[in-house]
Structures are given as C-alpha cells and as structure tokens.
Structure 1
Amino acid sequence: MTFAPVQGALTAAPGTKGIRFALVLPSTNTSVEREVHHLRPQDCSWHTGRIMIKAPALDSADAFGAFRECLNEAMPAALETVMTCKPDYIVMGMSAETFWGGVVGNAAFEQGVRDLTGLEVTTGATAAGEALKAFGAKRIGVVTPYQPVGDEQVVAYFTELGYDVAAITGLCSESATSIADETPEDLRRAFLSVDGPDVDALIQCGTNLECIAVAAELERELGKPVIAINAATVWHAFRVNGIQDKFQGHGSLLELH
C-alpha cells in the first residue's frame, strides 16, 4: 500500500449543510483546536466547551486517577455551557477516558454524554477503531503520551476490538498540559519505535499530542496508514453526519475515506 504526496486544503462540496460541532476538551489542552480548525467544511463550525482541570499532573498512576476524577466531575458543566450555542453534534477532544474500561467503558461514556445533552457524540476511542477498520488493519503499533496505567487501557481496548497490538510506546508526559510540548521529532521517534514489517498501521492516542502533520509525513515515507487521533475524530464526526468532504495534506484517512 502506497500513498502519493498530497497538497492543498479541503475541497468542500457545494451545499454542505451547516453543522455546529460542539468540541469538548480539557482546559489543559492546547493542540486540538489548532488542528481541527484547519478541518472545517464550508458552513460548518466548531464551538469549544472546556472541561476545567484542577489536577493536571499525570506523572504517576495516582495522578492519572486524580486527573480522571477531575475530568469526570467537571465535564457536565462544560457540556452545559457549550450547549447554550445549540450545537447539532458533540465531538470529544479528549481520549484517555474514552479508552478506559474497554468497549463497555467507551459505550457508557458515550451514553453519559447523550443523557446530558440529548445529542450524538464522537469519541476518540470509537473514531480510532473505525479508522483502523477503514484501512482493514489487523496488527497495529500505538503511540500515546500516557503512563503505563493509561497504555494498559489503550491496549485492552484495541485488543477487545480484535486488533493485535504489536507494540505501544507511551511518552510518559508529566502533565496534561506538557503533552503538547512533545516535539515532532519525539513523535516521529515514537512512531518508528512501534513500526515493523508485520505492522499494518500505526495509530496515536492522546489529543494534546499535535500529531496530524507528523503522521501525514510519515505515512508517505512508510507506505502504510499512520493515524493521528484528532484526524480520526474529525473524520468520524464528519462522516456520520453525512459530510463527505475530502481534505488534502492531513493524511490519507481524510483524503481517501
């Protein structure tokens, strides 16, 4: 499988229905908005609801647990706030919690959002699984910013979906904010560390890793899918809402599928 170099921006289909997407993310996140605002079909819009994170540390299993508790406690308020713009659809700009507890955990998370908003939702976990399915991937390599406690949940989720996780590299970022400090060189090394001739696709989790550009470049070099989770999440949200616009320069998922 090979991918030709691509250039340019989106090609928006005439008459695309304007959809208001509520983009819900941790207050510590500085990457999601930078990436998704490049991906906006004509007449559609992004509207951010920020989840107040008072415990941003991620440098241990206990800290990761405190972060999760804080996120779940504060998320209803973020949803309540963003719902005042009367969005049509919810997009989660955070992924760690959506992998927690496997397929059942992600389904419960999604149902919780539906119960609070009355709207459908795209989560990173669902989008990642669907993106890998679109490529027919079986054996995968995974990159995250997480500590081992988070990586275990990611591996369990993908395994439950039927994917064979060949390798996972967690960058062990010290805080939810410092995830965004990982450099393109860091991300490139992490992807290469989980690649191999028997690996069908590489995928990245953790929405505060600004990874779309690095993934698209590596994809062309390696000749296999390299999927950034923010690209997968946007792709899933668009496609389930009937938006078929193709985006060039952001990876083959958004260009070809």
Structure 2
Amino acid sequence: MRDYLAWRMAFGVTTPSTNTVVQPEYDDMRPPGVTNHLGRMVIPDLQIRTNEDFDESIRLIDAALEPAVASVMDCRPNAFILGISALAVWGGNAEWGAELKRRIRKVAGFDIPVAIATDAVFEALRLHGVKRRIAIMEPYFPSIEPKMVGVFGAAGYEIVRYNHMRGKSPTTYSVVTAQDMIRAIKAIDGPDVEAIVQFGANLPMARIADEAERWLDKPVISINVATYWHALRTNGINDNLYGFTSLFSKF
C-alpha cells in the first residue's frame, strides 16, 4: 500500500539544482494519485561562453548524479525519472542510456523502473510515425552535436538541423519569452523535417510545443512532456492529458 497521496505512483526525480522548469512542468502533468519527489544534482551556475564551458557543466552534472539519486531514494519511490536530457545523450552512443540506468539502479539497490529522455523521444517518434528526418532545438552549444548524432543515428534518425540557443548559464536556459521559443522552432522547421524535437529540461516548452503542433501540423516533442509521459506509460498509468501535445492526448 502506498501513502495517502501517492496511491498510484510515487516518482523519484533528479534534476540539476539550477533547473526551475522540471518541477513545475512535471507537477502540471501529474495525474491524481501520482506524486513527484525531487532530489537535486548540485552544480554551480557556471558562466557558459564556449563549447568547453558547456562540456564542463555536463561533466559536473554527471558527477552529481549518484548523490542526487541517493537523496531521493530515501522517500522510497516506486519509479525514477532522470530530469535532464543532455546527460541522456552525453555518452554519444546507443549503450549510454543503459549505463545511466545501471548507475541509478546501483544506487537504488533494486531494479527500479527508470525513465530517461532518449527512450521517451524514440517511443514518441515511433508512435507519431516519424521515419527518419528530425530537427532539434535546445539551449546548448554546438559541442552537443556529435553526442546527438551518435545516439539518434544509432536509432535510425537523421538530424536535419539544429538550433543551439546558447544559454549563458544553466539558470538562463529558462529565461526566455514565448516568442523566443516560437522563433527557435520556426528557424529549424521545413518541408524536409518530419518532427521537431526539443531538448533541454530547463527550457519551458511544454505548452508552447502543444500550440506549435497546431500551426506546424507535425509533431513537436517537448522533452519534459515526453519524459514524464513515458514514465507514466511504462508504469501502467494511461491517463490522457490535454494541453501537453498530441503525445499525451492520443497515446
């Protein structure tokens, strides 16, 4: 028997200490009887001006993974969500996601279900019928490209275009307007693109992606929507939710 509020599911979630988007967006998508419990991957709010600075920020996040997982496991969650998307591709190969899940389960001490961004996006693309060509927008720097190519290429996808929004520090990824995000989407769209994929869990795209699907007439996959949706579905929770893209309302 679960606790009074989490009568269906208690999720443990880790996200960087600089992230101000995962917690509110996940809570906006939380069905009745499901609760979210965050542990923070503690990192400084580094100034990011170069590829090397960006790479260092991800290195620090990677090093902070195990302590954050350990802290959230104290509340005994039923399942776990990795609330950062860059780390999910950082190994640059198909095996990296499995290694991340192994590390998380080692800290947990049992075979806890783990949802990560890449698994979620691949399943979303499959359900939407996307065959190959995608475009990716994120708040990162160009050094993410070979990582993306390695992971998405191994799954059979071609990244036609990127929009690197080049946030000046991890906290500034969320300091954007709706128009900033709309322009970023439009900059990479085209008739050669089957779907737009947004990475960057600190980029508040959940509701903008829902709007964008209507004026682009194609899937727009918000990373927080996809990851939380995938966590629910893989744990047997199939509630449809409206206002958070067709992924959540149809599948």
TM-score tier, shorter chain, comes to: over 0.9
Whole-angstrom CA distance in 2 between matches of 1:106 and 1:59:
28
- In the superposition, the TM-score normalised over structure 1's length comes to 0.90
Given residue 103 of structure 2, which amino acid in structure 1 is its aligned partner?
Answer: G
What SS class does the counterpart of residue 134 from structure 1 fall into? Answer: helix
After superposition, what is the alpha-carbon deviation per residue over 1:12-62, rounded to whole angstroms, capped at 9, x for unaligned? xxxx95110011100000011111111111111000111100353332222
Instruction: Confirm whether residue 78 of structure 1 aligns to residue 68 of structure 2.
Output: yes
Q: Which blocks of at least 5 consecutive residues in structure 2 are unaligned?
A: 1-5
What SS class does the counterpart of residue 201 from structure 2 fall into? Answer: coil
Alignment-derived partner of residue 149 in structure 2: 155
Instruction: Confirm whether residue 126 of structure 1 aligns to residue 126 of structure 2.
Output: no
Q: What is the Cα deviation at residue 183 of structure 1?
A: 1.9
Contact kept, 8 Å, 2:18 with 2:44, in 1: the verdict is no
Alignment-derived partner of residue 98 in structure 2: 107
Whole-angstrom CA distance in 2 between matches of 1:151 and 1:143:
11
Whole-angstrom CA distance in 2 between matches of 1:74 and 1:245:
33
Whole-angstrom CA distance in 1 between matches of 2:83 and 2:166:
20
Given residue 106 of structure 2, which amino acid in structure 1 is its aligned partner?
Answer: D
Root-mean-square deviation over aligned CA pairs: 1.4
Alignment-derived partner of residue 179 in structure 1: 173
What SS class does the counterpart of residue 95 from structure 2 fall into? Answer: helix
Given residue 206 of structure 1, which amino acid in structure 2 is its aligned partner?
Answer: G
After superposition, what is the alpha-carbon deviation per residue over 1:222-248, rounded to whole angstroms, capped at 9, x for unaligned? 111111000000110001001100001
- In the superposition, the TM-score normalised over structure 2's length comes to 0.92
State the 4+ residue runs in structure 1 displaced beyond 6 angstroms. none
Q: What is the Cα deviation at residue 172 of structure 1?
A: 0.8
Number of residue equivalences: 242
Instruction: Confirm whether residue 97 of structure 1 aligns to residue 110 of structure 2.
Output: no
After superposition, what is the alpha-carbon deviation per residue over 1:163-186, rounded to whole angstroms, capped at 9, x for unaligned? 121111110111111101122211
Q: What is the Cα deviation at residue 256 of structure 1?
A: 0.2
Given residue 36 of structure 1, which amino acid in structure 2 is its aligned partner?
Answer: Y
What SS class does the counterpart of residue 235 from structure 1 fall into? Answer: helix
Q: Percent identity?
A: 34
Contact kept, 8 Å, 2:45 with 2:171, in 1: the verdict is no
Given residue 147 of structure 1, which amino acid in structure 2 is its aligned partner?
Answer: F
Alignment-derived partner of residue 239 in structure 2: 245
Instruction: Confirm whether residue 136 of structure 1 aligns to residue 129 of structure 2.
Output: yes
Q: What is the Cα deviation at residue 187 of structure 1?
A: 1.1
Q: What is the Cα deviation at residue 98 of structure 1?
A: 0.8
Alignment-derived partner of residue 67 in structure 1: 57
Instruction: Confirm whether residue 226 of structure 1 aligns to residue 220 of structure 2.
Output: yes
Instruction: Confirm whether residue 45 of structure 1 aligns to residue 35 of structure 2.
Output: yes
Q: What is the Cα deviation at residue 69 of structure 1?
A: 2.4
